[in-house]
Structure 1
Amino acid sequence: MINESSKTSSTLIPIAAILGAVLLWGSAFAAMKYLVNFLNPWAVMWIRTGIATLILTPFTAKMYSPIRGGKDRKALALMAFFMPCLYFLFESYALTYTSATQAGLISASLPLMVAVGAGIFFKERTTIAGWAGLALSMLGVAALTMSGNPSANANNPALGNFLELLAMCCAAGYMLLVKRLSASYGPWTLTAVQNAAGCVFFLPGLYLLIRDGIGADPMHTLAIAGYLGAFVTLGAFGLYNVGMSRLPAGKASAFINLVPAIAAFFGWAILDETLTFTQIIASGIIFAGVGLAQRGDKINIKTNPLSFLRKKPRFD
């Protein structure tokens, strides 16, 4: 009984962590959309990563694991470059052109990208259903993009949705790297590296913040930015890194399918966003592609052609 209880607990904890991360990520689309309406995306991202780094700094000494040289540094640098640097850059600009709801729906393609990335970099066998699902999902993204007309919440949806798709490619690379690095480093070490790198990468945002100010209602702006920095940038990525370190990459990434629904809810509740009938059909195509891919057989791990991405768990 004790063993069964312990086993259940060890499974529920990472699942609960990932569910918490997904809820925070889903809410972030509406919050980001609100801020980029009057702040430069670089300024928003510097505030987010700066707040997260500031909060994490006092605890770094207790949670931080020493970084090994060589291949580990390359993998860590690439992880941070994908997320938060490129991911946040693409997504923040995407939300200046498209709606939070449409951007959130495009994130449904992320689990399939992770599966395809595993096939390319780790030589995992992707099933026919997986490839068909990816193609169907991408068709849905294209339909969602082409059906979007300029509006108050989306002045250039084609460009915005394309940038969001690039952000998802970066997120897929990040997830594959986190799964590899979690064998050697704790989740909060990875989170600290991410936030420190983002704070430096988005440093030009500090200049823009000083030059342009933080809007007509500074307290409201800082409250939303604080939520994004403390709860989303720090909390969500920390929780996801915890879950990713204890669950298979495919299973962990599958929870991302909940993000579009959460993003759509907050886009409707906070920003009064809606979808046209054509966009609803396109969204259904995206989810159909995801569902088709998940019905395929499990993928088998073979070898990894990139040596610095290949890592066996270390227990020293």
Structure 2
Amino acid sequence: MNTKSPLIPRLCLAGAVLLWGTSFVAMKYALTGFAPMAVIFLRMALASLVMSLFWGRVPKTGRQPGDLKWLALVCLLQPCLYFLLEGFAVSLTTSAQAGMISSLVPLLVAAGAFVFLREALSARMLLGLGLSLAGVAWLSLSGAAGEAAPNPALGNLLELLAMCCASGYMLVLKHLSSRYNSWQLTGLQAFAGALFFLPWAFATSPAWLAEPLAAFRAVPGQAWLAVGYLGGVVTLGAFGLYNQAVARLASAQAAASINLVPLVAVLAGWLLLGEALAPAQAAACGVILAGVLLGQTKATGAGRAARSRSPADGPA
């Protein structure tokens, strides 16, 4: 198979979107037995354990002068600050409002790529981003009301900051992806996340220190299975696949696919949790799909020219 085929990075994007979309259902199951910060720590710790088993076989790229700050920034933005901010945001605001804010990622990435990476934005991509953004907003607004939001203003601000972290991560990743193996970057993110969330996990789960055996025995089996899926499949698979794709696609084009994540999440909730999919939500899913497909269709040479530029010309 031709590894230069444009189909390969698009398949990687599809896999990442599928895993990220189903992670919301897995998170709901995991929260039946663990606190939010504990779930994030366990998934990162499990991902680190899996990566350590194969770390010796992952191609290592020699670090160049100045790379250390970019590697540290990637790990700080995603998963550390992103999951920290979003973990608290979803407890303060409604899922509908958080969903609308999360749809800003492609636009934030496109704007950042234009400024820092000098990636051209075609009218077709702008139209596709706008259409998918409108679909995500419609999908969020048409959903059933969630739990009461104790502080929606603060929650929405934290969610916006989380999306800024996600956008920054995607741009910095583009800067490094030409020199570092995607699984090397994924492993570094998992290791950093496990260390970062370790104190948060114990701080929010005091029973882990007081009665650890009793605390873990009380966790239902479905919560353990969900953590295993999040850590062993989603964390490694989604980041690994996305890192593979972004190395061969323009940053804005890769980020456009993220608007499919809410669509997958709604469908997964409907299929696995029995959540009703209202006609308006089904229509919104169609709008999102149309927008992403429109944004991903790139017949001009602008995108190829953007990818031909060295990512080293990116963030300074």
| Residue 261 (structure 2) aligns with | 259
Aligned pairs for 1:58-77 within 5 A: 58-66=53-61, 68=63, 70-77=65-72
Alpha-carbon separation, structure 1, partners of 2:116 and 2:225: 40
> What is the count of residue pairs matched by the alignment?
305
Q: Which stretch has the larger CA shift, 84-93 or 58-67?
A: 58-67
Q: Cα offset for 1:190?
A: 0.3
Alignment RMSD (CA, Å): 4.1
| Residue number among 24, 28, 31 corresponding to 2:26 in the alignment | 31
Alignment correspondent of 2:198: 203
Does the 8 A contact of 1:83 with 1:194 survive in 2?
yes
How far is the alpha carbon of 1:71 from its aligned partner? 1.7
Which runs of structure 2 are paired with 1:108-147 in the superposition (5 Å)? 108-126=103-121
CA distance in 2 between counterparts of 1:157 and 1:34 reads 24
Superposed, 1:1-316 pairs within 5 Å as 6-7=1-2, 10-36=5-31, 39-66=34-61, 68=63, 70-97=65-92, 103=98, 107-126=102-121, 151-152=146-147, 160=155, 162-208=157-203, 211-212=206-207, 213=215, 216-273=218-275, 298=302, 301=306, 309=315
Q: 1:137 to 1:278 in 2, by over 3 A?
A: same
The answer on whether the counterparts of 1:41 and 1:89 sit within 8 Å (CA) in structure 2 is no
CA gap of 1:274–1:153, structure 2 versus 1, over 3 A, is farther
> Contact conserved, 1:134 with 1:290, CA < 8 A, in 2?
yes
Q: 2:129–2:292: 8 Å Cα contact kept in structure 1? A: yes
- Residue identity matched to 1:113: L
Deviation at 1:42, TM superposition (A): 1.6
How many angstroms apart in 1 are the aligned matches of 2:109 and 2:148? 29
Do the aligned partners of 1:96 and 1:154 also contact (CA within 8 Å) in 2? Answer: yes
Provide, for residues 141-175 of structure 1, a one-character-per-residue CA deviation record: whole Å limited to 9, x for no partner.
77887888864486766655554443332222112
Deviates more, 1:88-97 or 1:184-193: 88-97
Seen in structure 2, the aligned counterparts of structure 1 residues 39 and 187 have a Cα distance that, compared at 3 Å, is same
User: Quick one: distance in 1 between partners of 2:131 and 2:158?
Assistant: 19
Task: Determine helix, strand or coil for the equivalent of 2:109.
Answer: helix
Q: 1:123 to 1:63 in 2, by over 3 A?
A: same
TM-score, scaled to structure 2: 0.75
1:238, CA displacement in angstroms? 1.1
Q: Which structure 2 segments of 5+ residues have no match?
A: 208-214
* Structure 1 gaps, min length 5: 1-5, 311-316
Q: Please state how far the C-alpha of 1:289 moved relative to its aligned partner.
A: 7.5
**Deviation (angstroms), 1:119:** 1.6
Q: Kindly tell me: are residues 88 and 285 of structure 1, through their superposed partners in 2, closer, same or farther at Cα, counting changes over 3 Å?
A: same
Which amino acid counterpart does residue 243 of structure 2 have in structure 1?
N
**DSSP 3-state at the match of 2:53:** helix
Q: How far apart are the structure 2 equivalents of 1:262 and 1:204?
A: 32
| Separation in structure 2 between the aligned mates of residue 132 and residue 208 of structure 1, nearest angstrom | 45
Q: In the TM superposition, what whole-angstrom CA distance separates every residue of 1:168-194 from its partner, at most 9, and x where no partner exists? A: 322221122222211111011100110
Could you say if the C-alpha distance between residues 156 and 163 of structure 1 is closer, same or farther in structure 2, counting changes exceeding 3 Å?
same
- Distance in 2, Cα, partners of 1:253 & 1:154: 29
Residues 19, 73 of structure 1: alpha-carbon distance in 2 compared, 3 angstrom cutoff: same
Letter in 1 for 2:74: M
Q: Which moved more, 1:97-106 or 1:161-170?
A: 97-106
**d(CA) in 1 for partners of 2:141, 2:153:** 6
Residue identity matched to 1:23: L
What TM-score does the superposition give when structure 1 sets the normalisation length?
0.75
Amino acid at match of 2:261: V
Identity of aligned residues (%): 45
Structure 1 residues 16 and 85, CA, compared in 2 at 3 Å: closer, same or farther? same
Mapped contact 1:27–1:262 kept (Cα < 8 A): yes
